[in-house]
Amino acid sequence: MAIENASGNPLANPLAAAAEWRSGARDAVVSRLDRILEGDPLNHLARFLRLRASSAPLADFFTSLESSPSQTCLDLAYDLLSAGLDAEARELLEGVPSEAAPMVCYTLGVLSLKNGDVARADAWFARAENAAPGNTFPFRLEELDVLRRAVKHNPALAMAWYYLGCLLYDKGHAAEAAECWRKSIDAKSTFPIPYRNLAVAYYSHLNRWDEVLPLLKKALSLAPGDEQLVFETIHVMAKLGIAPEERSALIGAEGNATRDDIVLEWARALNQSGEADRALALLGSHSFIPCEGGEHAVAEQFMFAHHRLGRTHLREGRFAEALAHFRSAQVLPDNLGAGLWNEAMLVPHQYYEAVCLDGLGEGDQAMGICRHILDLSIDYFSEMHLPELPVYQALAMIRTGQPGKANHSLRTALTRWTEALARTDAGFFKTTPFFISYMDSSQSARTAHFRFLTGLAKAALGDRTHALEDLRQSVQSDPSRLYPGLEFEELAR
């Protein structure tokens, strides 16, 4: 029926040939397979069956194969198995070269169980447990069934539990995946990755935050110096509000940081502990590689360090020193490999540059900067890169003699941001860059974002008490963010 409705069906035609082979119509098989390959030379199922029909060695199938032998053969084998062609599937998988992926071995083990050959099954499972994972993890529904059958037969298969957890997590079953990783740990306590994966599931989905850091530290103890684990541990420590001094100490204990993301987390810790000079020295000693998805990550640490130093000098009345830092924040050194997507990101530093100029008696220059800030458009890109722009524009209005307009602008923004706090979304605020696996809840991320904005607006309106409470909630919801913490500290003095 499939061939009648779609004569070029790439699966039905080879399977029809296989059925004809079993019925003994060998001439028809060869003819059908030759027609298939004439129209589609890359139909690997047809290629495999054609080799069998001609009694050619199976090795010939792999010599011209450009794709992964394991993954290609798994695709074909599961098609064969779904058609009841177990013997053909077994022959194909057994022919995979010696570097066969674990799932090839697990599948052959399950096929051996199906035939009642337990000893052979155990041999295949043992081989699977010791095989290198490779670049492709299980993702097919057939692999889900294979892994479940494998661990049912032998619950001590640590790697099978691990792969099963990865597959279930990929399909959105975080709780079941976590249970699999826990069983993988029970079967092999020295394997670090399930500890790490369990930490991801607990943090991002299961709200078991108290258990996350111990799991990551255990993984790191089993794989000391693993830079990915170092980064993830420091990142999570920042998110959980662990003291920046402790985070710095952990990075130092693991040796000199070489990866960009670890250096940035170290700079964040130094910035948050009030050691902005050390953060600048660290950033200046490292050459960063530009990264899609992390364009502002490097720039933010550098700009914040100068901004923090500028705010300190400004508070102490040292206008010239403060001015130098606010201006330095606006010029990114080449070694950072960073740029700015939108000039609105410069506004906080420009505004305080104007404050310093006023303090130095350079009122005309200060007014020029304020007018520049007021000329900027509030649009999609400014909302993305500096959502607090309306507050800085209102502060610029006050400095240019427009307090009434500033008050109206602040209250309008405050109303909008307060309403946004109560909204729910489909997960936008839970999204992270592609290299971050630890997701905050949408609500806590939303609270961190908008309480920072409402706190700034209330501070500009002179409502110090409520501004402090909003900023406190922002910091509490996401302690890793730099500016909410700084604004809370400055306002609390």
Q: What is the pLDDT of residues 385-410, one digit of tens each?
A: 999 999 999 999 999 999 999 999 99
DSSP string, 251-271: HHHT-S--SHHHHHHHHHHHH
Most confident of 9-13, 99-103, 424-428: 99-103
How far are the Cα atoms of 206, 207, 223 from residue 210, in angstroms, in the given order? 11, 9, 22
Share above pLDDT 70 across residues of the chain, in percent, rounded to a whole number: 97
Of the pLDDT bands very low, low, confident and very high (cuts 50, 70, 90), residue 338 is confident
Return the number of other C-beta atoms located less than 10 Å from residue 203's C-beta.
24
Start-to-end CA span in the chain (Å): 79
Q: Which of 187-191, 252-256, 298-302, 395-399 has the lowest mean pLDDT?
A: 252-256
255: its two tokens: 């040796």
Poorest-pLDDT segment among 100-109, 245-254, 280-289, 341-350: 245-254
Cα–Cα distances in Å, from 417 out to 59, 385, 466?
Answer: 66, 16, 14
Position 6 scores a pLDDT of 56
Model confidence at 110, pLDDT cuts 50, 70, 90, reads: very high
Query: CA–CA separation, 421 vs 399, rounded Å?
Result: 30
pLDDT in tens, 176-215: 999 999 999 999 999 999 999 999 999 999 999 999 999 9
**Are the C-beta atoms of residues 493 and 468 closer than 8 Å to each other?**
no
Spatial distance between the Cα atoms of 212 and 235, rounded to a whole number of angstroms: 12
Q: Is the pLDDT of residue 255 over 70?
A: no
pLDDT at 294 over 80: no
Across 373-385, average pLDDT: 91
Element (H, E) at 117: none
What local confidence, expressed as pLDDT, does residue 295 receive? 67
pLDDT digits (tens, 9 = 90+) for 121-164: 999 999 999 998 887 899 999 999 999 999 999 999 999 999 99
State yes or no: pLDDT of 2 exceeds 60: no
- Predicted confidence band of residue 257 (pLDDT cuts 50, 70, 90): confident
Residue 351 pLDDT class (50, 70, 90 cuts): very high
Mean local confidence (pLDDT), 302-310: 98
The DSSP string of 327-341 is HHTTS--GGG----S
pLDDT for position 7 = 58
Mean pLDDT across 356-374: 97
Residue 250 neighbours by CB distance under 10 Å: 19
CB 216 within 8 A of CB 199: yes
| Mean pLDDT (the chain, rounded) | 92
DSSP readout, 440-473? Answer: --HHHHHHHHHHHHHHHHHHHTT-HHHHHHHHHH
pLDDT band at residue 256, thresholds of 50, 70 and 90? Answer: low
The token pair at 205 is 């989905």
Q: What is the mean pLDDT of residues 339-361?
A: 94
Q: Which of 183, 191, 241 shows the shortest CA–CA distance to 212?
A: 241
pLDDT at position 5 is 53
| pLDDT score at 21 | 78
Q: CA-CA distance, 195 to 206, in Å (whole number)? A: 15
Q: Is the pLDDT of residue 293 over 70?
A: no
Contact 216, 232 (CB under 8 A): yes
Give the whole-angstrom CA distance, residue 288 versus residue 72.
Answer: 38
361 SS3 class: coil
